Amino acid sequence: MKSKQQFLEQKNRLLEYWKKFKIINSKNILKAFRKIPREAFIPEPLKSQVYEDHPLPIGYGQTISQPTTVAIMTQALNPKPGEKVLEVGTGSGYQAAIIAEIVKPGVVITTELVSELAAIAKNNLYRANIRNVKVFLHDGSLGFKKEAPYDRIIVTAAAPRISQHWVEQLKTNGVIIAPIGSLTEQELIRAVKTKQGLKTQSLGDFVFVPLKGKEGWFE
């Protein structure tokens, strides 16, 4: 078992790397990563790997993304204090926790399809003392209309396309971050909703677990 000191050193190395290579260039975002304990979102037997830079299984065939992927997605989303953000794919709750820390007193609405994971995420968030995340058991490929509109939307599962529901539930000038492509490889897309339509940009190739549901790969 690793000591607290070893965790801290590993975490600091990751943060230094993100700063040096400008993966994160916002002080507020770095602060959130420094503050939120990723270990609170990892199943007990895997805790010794918490600050290694690779994805980890969280059960039910799902994974918590590699730390650097969470960093890239959070910087691309670039949430601001006071905003309301929708996350599709709660998983462990870690990505939601990072965004919640940045947007406070704003809120994160996050949706998950696997009821066991939604329950685990709620518990993880509670234990990490994060109170501004609401977890819903819901098909996020349809967005979450009840809480719309959103300032930003982040999708953490691989989608075949940008769902029209997400676009409709986003405010003008709002941002969507989503991995779009095939089941085996996706491009991370940053899309801005302008009055003239969606302006998209690719942030590179990634591999995510599939988005399920009505607008996903399988129902």
* Residues catalogued as catalytic: 65
Coil, helix or strand at residue 170: strand
Nearer to ligand SAH, 83 or 139 (CB): 139
Q: Tell me the residue type at 164.
A: Q
Q: How far is the CB of 46 from ligand SAH (least distance, A)?
A: 13
Give the H/E segment covering residue 191: strand 186-194
Q: How far is the CB of 31 from ligand SAH (least distance, A)?
A: 18
Taking the C-alpha atoms of residue 209 and residue 112, their distance in angstroms, rounded to an integer, is 13
- First-to-last alpha carbon distance for the chain, in angstroms, is 41
Interacting positions 46-75 with ligand SAH (CB under 6 A):
62-65
Q: Cβ(36)–Cβ(95) under 8 Å?
A: no
Q: How far is the CB of 28 from ligand SAH (least distance, A)?
A: 19
Q: Does position 140 bind ligand SAH by CB under 6 A?
A: yes
Nearer to ligand SAH, 45 or 195 (CB): 45
Find, among 174, 162, 171, 169, the residue nearest to 202 by Cα: 162
Q: Which residues bind ligand SAH (CB under 6 A)?
A: 62-65, 88-89, 91-92, 94-95, 111-114, 117, 139-141, 156-157, 209, 211-213, 216
